[in-house]
Amino acid sequence: MTNTQTNRPDLIAYTVRESAEKSHWSRIGAAWRHQDGEGFNIRLEVLPLDGEIVLRTPKPSEDASQ
């Protein structure tokens, strides 16, 4: 099944900042698989200052609106 940008994203984009106590994950966007399966469209709401973006599969409990 393929997704478009009006459907649930295939991946959620996060930036992760490490501190001495714990990691801080901030959702910054989402990604949708191309219909041919050869890539993704990525929509970012912000860019991380450290340049690192982590893509993860969405959990069922997450709000998928993007």
State pLDDT tens for residues 4-59. 555 899 999 999 988 889 988 999 999 999 999 999 999 999 998 877 899 999 98
More reliable by pLDDT, 61 or 32: 32
Buried b (16+ CB within 10 A) or exposed e, 26-49: ebbbbbbbeeeeeeeeeeeeeebe
